[in-house]
Amino acid sequence: MPLDATIARVTARIEARSEQMRSTYLDRMRRAADEGPRRAHLTCGNQAHAYAAMTGDKDTLAEGRAPNLGIVTAYNDMLSAHQPFETYPQVIRAAARQAGGTAQVAGGVPAMCDGVTQGQVGMELSLFSRDVIALATGVALSHNTFDAAVYLGVCDKIVPGLVIAAATFGYIPGLFIPAGPMTSGLPNDEKAKVRQQFATGEVGRDKLMEAEMASYHGPGTCTFYGTANSNQMLMEFMGLHLPGTSFINPGTPLREALTVEAAKHALSITNLGNAYRPVCDVLDAKAFVNGIVGLMATGGSTNLVLHLPAMARAAGVALELEDFDEISSVTPLMAKVYPNGLADVNHFHAAGGLQYMIGDLLDAGLLHDDVKTVAGDGLSLYTREPVLENGAISYRDGPRDTQNDKILRPARDPFQATGGLKQLYGNLGHGMIKVSAVAPERHVIEAPCRIFHDQESVKTAFKAGEFTSDTVVVVRFQGPSSNGMPELHGLTPTLAVLQDRGLKVALVTDGRMSGASGKVPAAIHVSPEAANGGPLARLRDGDVVRVDAIKGTIETLAEDFDSREPVQADLTGNGHGVGRELFEAFRQNVGLASNGAAVVV
């Protein structure tokens, strides 16, 4: 089928908007590639330091004829999703030797768990950790001894940070290697029910702890469709994974075989051979459009609306919120995965997963097939799924029919006609809303607002029984300049309880929600933020606020709104404790949320 007209128009607009920036970027990448293998420019002393600890590989490295693979790892055992990476370097080194090359751990990057810091002070460092990860990767690859790189990362800020760095070093090939989701535990809807029961005092902390431990129970990514699993989807839609690798569980023979295959493949596409495939050629405007289509079709995390513009800018591509809005308007919602449904990512994968979805979207003309990927030319390569035969990876055609239409549907018969993401404009600023899990009767909320300056104050008011009528809850001074833009996911159970009591409620904030946010309408990422004098700083308790996801507007009806002086909050407490002192330069220099809230790009 021909490419959808809206997808074609948006892609052309992005390419035109990015023309100068992209041209400058590609020129830099070409000149860097023309310098030849990195190690050729090191002195003997430089090289001796680089190879000193490489027992068994020193001669191969010193000769400089075989490709050397740099491993950038986000391993730690604080993140269940990253714990499996502990053994990956030795697997990759062995695979590289077998393929006639070498591999070295170039460096590690920090990887915090938002599940641990959710609602805690540490969450104020979470978004900024993306830029730190990009910087740390830059330091790792600055040794200039690598012909290609593999990136070991899965979760929320880690993949975007690694992509920013991979694009910056775009003259070398780069391949992302995932670890896969944990096996299914307590169903996510049952866990959410216990959370709401705890919020209302129906159950104690012992029952809450029991439910949480039964849900998050082993190695691998959390099984709901939040930011981490949205990242994995994105890496396939954008051609940075090997096909079919995202949702294979850790500790399985297929998972390890895919890691071996990824290492060998990365060595095969360096500038030393005839199949050179640098990251700069993979990450073009079409790849980012494909990623946005995937985000909309799967009902993915709103956090990616922050991350994708920052990732794209590192590759010389300029994305705007209007691009997300228009792509969403023509992309059908094909998946129902928690919090948008009852299934988890393991069920989604079993129902046909990304291979079915990519094939169906290609057939519908909603994806660019004419792209370069790490696997070869054409996104249609990603309709294949890997199988393990006699200890080696081979590929077969993926499913062409859904295996469970309660989880995964074709584009011609979707759960919803659109991806459910809208940009919002109005006298309260520029933001976005995700309504794929919001009931249609709640797509427009108009009610008096109640102003708060942190999420704990909302919970306190709830426990005091102060919410008795329809309310727009405004939580301001939560943007990146205020306090690093922590997720306000802790508000989800509270607001859901109010909604279940029959009240019309909405959230408006210059902060962000989790990738696990769901059925409560939330206008998020509103910018300019209150700390920079944005419109939210002029709101007062009782002002009528209208959030309209149909028209794409966010506004107050207060007559004297424009003449008011913005409120200034005391933010001095946000600058110290739990490492916040170290991030003052980030808070002072961060960009607008509508442009990705980035510091380094």
In the prediction, which pLDDT does 59 show? 85
Question: Residues 102-117: what's their mean pLDDT?
Answer: 93
The whole-angstrom distance between residue 269's C-alpha and the CA centroid of its chain comes to: 26
* pLDDT of amino acid 135: 98
Cite the annotated binding site by residue number.
155, 222
* 388 and 441, same domain (yes or no): no
Contact 415, 336 (CB under 8 A): yes
Inform me whether the pLDDT recorded for 339 exceeds 90: no
- 192 found inside a domain: no
E strand residue ranges, 97-208: 102-108, 148-152, 174-177
Q: What is the pLDDT of residue 27?
A: 98
Mean pLDDT of 448-459: 96
Q: What percent of the chain has pLDDT over 70?
A: 99
Residue 189 included in any domain: no
Residue with tokens 């200039």: 144
Per the structure, the complete domain to which residue 17 belongs is given by 5-183+218-397
Between 470 and 114, residue with greater pLDDT: 470
Distance CA(1)–CA(284), nearest Å, equals 22
Tell me, yes or no, whether 430 and 391 share the same domain: no
Least confident of 90-99, 100-109, 208-217, 482-491: 208-217
Q: Torsion-angle region of residue 60: left (phi > 0), alpha (psi -120 to 50) or beta?
A: alpha
In a domain, 196, yes or no: no
Answer whether residue 195 is part of any domain.
no
**Per-residue pLDDT averaged across 165-182, rounded?**
97
* Domain identity same for 364 and 513: no
Pick the range with the lowest mean pLDDT from 20-34, 175-189, 446-460. 175-189
Give the residue with greater pLDDT, 252 vs 489. Answer: 252
Q: How close are the terminal C-alpha atoms of the chain, in Å?
A: 37
Average pLDDT of the segment spanning 496-519: 87
- Cite the annotated binding site for [4Fe-4S] cluster by residue number: 155, 222
pTM for the model stands at 0.94
Q: What is the pLDDT of residue 515?
A: 57
Which pLDDT belongs to residue 516?
55
Q: Among 397, 413, 440, which residue terminates a domain?
A: 397
Residue 276 is assigned to a structural domain of this protein: yes
Higher local confidence (pLDDT), 188 or 293: 293
Is 32 a domain residue?
Answer: yes
Indicate if 538 and 587 belong to the same structural domain: yes
Q: How confident is the model at residue 517 (pLDDT cuts 50, 70, 90)?
A: low
Rg (CA), the chain: 24
- Co-location of 389 and 425 in the same domain: no
* Least confident residue range of 202-206, 310-314, 478-482: 202-206
pLDDT digits (tens, 9 = 90+) for 410-438: 999 999 999 988 999 999 999 999 887 78
Please say if the pLDDT value at position 373 is more than 70.
yes
Same domain, 575 and 480: yes
Is 60 inside any structural domain? yes
Does 535 score more than 90 pLDDT?
yes
Task: Assess whether pLDDT exceeds 70 at residue 257.
Answer: yes
pLDDT tens digit string along 542-571? 999 999 999 999 999 999 999 999 999 999
Evaluate whether 340 touches 434 at the Cβ level (below 8 Å).
Answer: no
Of 381, 397, 413, at which residue does a domain stop? 397
Residue pLDDT, tens place only, 296-313: 999 999 899 999 999 999
Kindly state whether residues 100 and 171 are assigned to the same domain. yes
Residues 36-60 have a mean pLDDT of 85
Query: 10 with 112, same domain?
Result: yes
Q: What is the mean pLDDT of residues 185-198?
A: 82
> Is-contact 248 258, C-beta < 8 A?
yes
376 lies in the same domain as 523: no
For the chain, what is the mean pLDDT?
A: 94
Give the C-alpha separation, 176 to 305, whole Å.
20
Q: Which of the 8 DSSP states describes residue 343?
A: B
Q: CA 311, CA 167: separation in Å to the nearest integer?
A: 8
Does 465 lie in the same domain as 389? no
- Between CA 448 and CA 229 the distance in angstroms is 36
Instruction: Indicate if 463 and 371 belong to the same structural domain.
Output: no
Q: How many whole angstroms separate alpha carbon 419 and alpha carbon 202?
A: 35
Residues 468, 392 share a domain = no
- Domain count within the chain: 2
Percent of all residues in the chain with a pLDDT value above 90, rounded to a whole number:
80
Q: What is the CATH number of the domain that holds 519?
A: 3.50.30.80
Query: Each residue of 349-366: pLDDT tens digit?
Result: 999 999 999 999 999 999
> Does 167 map to a domain?
yes
- The answer to whether 355 and 244 have CB atoms below 8 angstroms apart is yes
